[in-house]
A and B are shown apart, each in its own frame.
Chain A
Amino acid sequence: MAAVMRLFSNIDKATAIAFACILLLLFLGALYDPNFLSADYLLQQLLTASFLGVMATGMMLVILLGHIDLSIPWTITMGAMMATAATGFFGDSLGYGLAIPFGIFAGVCVGFINGLGVAYLRAPSMIFTLGMNAVAQGLMVFHTGGFSPQDAVTPLMRQVVVGHIIPGVANPVLIWAVLGIMTVFVLTRTSLGRQIYAIGNRERAVFLSGVDTRRVLVICFVISGACSAFAGVLLAGWANRSYQAMGDPYLLPTIAAVVLGGTNVLGGRGTYLGTVAGVILITLLQSILSVVQPQYMLAAMGLKVPPESIRQIVFGMVIVGMMLLYGREKLVR
Chain B
Amino acid sequence: MSTGMTATTSGGRRAWEGWGHRVGAQRGLLIAVAIFAIMFAYYGYMQPVGLSSNVINTAANKGVLLALIAMAQTLPVLTGGIDLSVGTIFVLTNCLASNIVVGSPFMTALGVIVVLVVGAMCGAINGLIVVYGRLQPIIVTIATSAIFYGLALVLRPQPGGSINPELADLMTRSTYWVPSSLILLIGVVLFVWLPYRRSVVGRAAYAIGSSEQAAYMSGVAIGRAKILAYTLAGLLSSIAGLSLTALTYTGEARAALAADYTLNSIAAVVIGGTSLFGGAGSAIGSIFGAFVMRTVGDLLFVFDMNPVLQPLFVGIVLLFAVSLGSVRLLRIKNKLDLYR
B178 close to A (CB within 8 Å):
no
Q: Is the CB of B150 within 8 A of A311?
A: yes
Chain A residue nearest in CB terms to B222: A332
A102-145: contact bitstring with B at CB < 8 Å (1 yes, 0 no)? 00000000000000010001111011101111111111011001
Q: Is the CB of B133 within 8 A of A320?
A: yes
A213 close to B (CB within 8 Å):
yes
* Nearest CB of B to A144, in Å: 8
How many Å lie between the Cα of A312 and that of B135 in the bound state?
Answer: 20
Q: Is the CB of B154 within 8 A of A306?
A: yes
The number of residues on chain B lying at the interface, defined by a beta carbon within 8 Å of a beta carbon of chain A, is: 55
How many Å lie between the Cα of A265 and that of B142 in the bound state?
Answer: 13
B237 close to A (CB within 8 Å):
no
B134 close to A (CB within 8 Å):
yes
A17 close to B (CB within 8 Å):
no
8 A Cβ contacts from B131-153 to A: 133-136, 138-140, 142-153
Say whether chain A's binding surface is mostly helix, strand, loop, or mixed: helix
Q: Is the CB of A137 within 8 A of B311?
A: yes
B298 close to A (CB within 8 Å):
no
Chain A residue nearest in CB terms to B308: A145
A255 close to B (CB within 8 Å):
yes
Q: Is the CB of A306 within 8 A of B157?
A: yes
Interfacial chain A residues near B256, Cβ < 8 Å = 248
Q: Is the CB of B315 within 8 A of A133?
A: yes
| One of B310, B314, B316, B339 near A203 (C-beta < 8 A) | B339
8 A Cβ contacts from A295-333 to B: 304-306, 308-313, 315-317, 319-320, 323-324, 327-333
Stretch of B1-9, B37-45, B320-328 contacting A (4+ beta carbons < 8 Å): B320-328
Chain B residue nearest in CB terms to A125: B276
A68 close to B (CB within 8 Å):
yes
Q: Is the CB of B146 within 8 A of A252?
A: yes
Query: Which residues of B are at the interface with A, using a C-beta cutoff of 8 A?
Result: 82, 129, 133-136, 138-140, 142-154, 157, 212-213, 216, 222, 256, 263, 266-267, 270, 276-277, 306, 308-316, 318-319, 322-323, 325-326, 329, 336, 338-340
Query: Which residues of A are at the interface with B, using a C-beta cutoff of 8 A?
Result: 66, 68, 117, 121-124, 126-128, 130-139, 141-142, 145-146, 202-204, 207-208, 213, 248, 252, 255-256, 259, 265-266, 304-306, 308-313, 315-317, 319-320, 323-324, 327-333
Given contacts A139-B312, A313-B147, 5 further A-B contacts (CB under 8 A): A123-B322, A134-B318, A135-B315, A202-B340, A316-B148
The contact sample of 8 A-B pairs, CB cut-off 8 A, is A124-B270, A134-B311, A135-B316, A138-B316, A142-B312, A255-B142, A265-B136, A331-B134
